[in-house]
Homo-oligomer: A and B are copies of this chain.
């Protein structure tokens, strides 16, 4: 899974979609509704963003994953997306989890910043017990005392989840580490730890991205990453489709 943090314009989303498809990505990510710490920051293109994302994905034969922020958005987002992703800050929004249990599309549930693995699995249980059995977990870093990186990626959560649950687990090194030149080694590390997939932020012009530019990869970096990751996956007896 690859794509920009936020959908910003037609040009941007088509350019990124084409380049990640060429490197072998299968799913296009992009945010149309953006949860932001401050109420005064850019909040996303909303439905227009969803339309652009869908159009670009269809053109390049990709699937769409995008964030849903609350129950009122589920119907709208399901019209455009193949997978609904739930942000870390909503991991214990129980009303929302119940709503997702009634959704018809697969849900990717990000781990909360201070959530234990136990609590994360319990939140997945809210969705599963509502009748939606397509839940994917996504490790995206936890909050610790270390400030040299944006978050501390808990790579160890991957083998723990593999043992405790049948749910697939992917990793989001872009948010996990938050610094562009460290996204690649972290993505490799997660694949080596047997993650079932990787989601990274790729931008056609990271230096002018409206959100998260500093952690978005250039297209060539993504191509290089895909090459390395294929070999690592094979080394541990897995295959990238």
A interface residues, Cβ below 8 angstroms from B: 35-40, 69-72, 89-90, 92-98, 112-114, 116-119, 122-123, 125-126, 129, 142-149, 152-160, 163, 176-177, 181-182, 185-186, 188-194, 228, 231-232, 234-236
Specify how many copies of this chain sit in the oligomer. Answer: 4
A174 smallest CB distance to B (angstroms): 12
> Looking at the complex, which one of B90, B143, B156 makes contact with A145 (CB distance below 8 Å)?
B143
Residues of B within 8 A of A190 (CB): 189
| Cα(A122)–Cα(B185), bound, Å | 24
Cross-chain contact A144 with B147 (CB below 8 angstroms): no
Cross-chain contact A95 with B119 (CB below 8 angstroms): no
> Looking at the complex, which one of B35, B40, B149, B228 makes contact with A236 (CB distance below 8 Å)?
B228
| Cα(A168)–Cα(B234), bound, Å | 27
Residues of B within 8 A of A39 (CB): 94, 97-98, 122, 125-126, 129
> Looking at the complex, which one of B69, B160, B235 makes contact with A228 (CB distance below 8 Å)?
B235
| Known pairs A38-B122, A70-B96, A228-B236 / 15 extra A-B pairs, C-beta < 8 Å | A37-B122, A39-B97, A70-B71, A72-B95, A114-B145, A116-B147, A143-B145, A152-B152, A155-B155, A156-B176, A159-B182, A159-B185, A185-B193, A189-B192, A189-B193
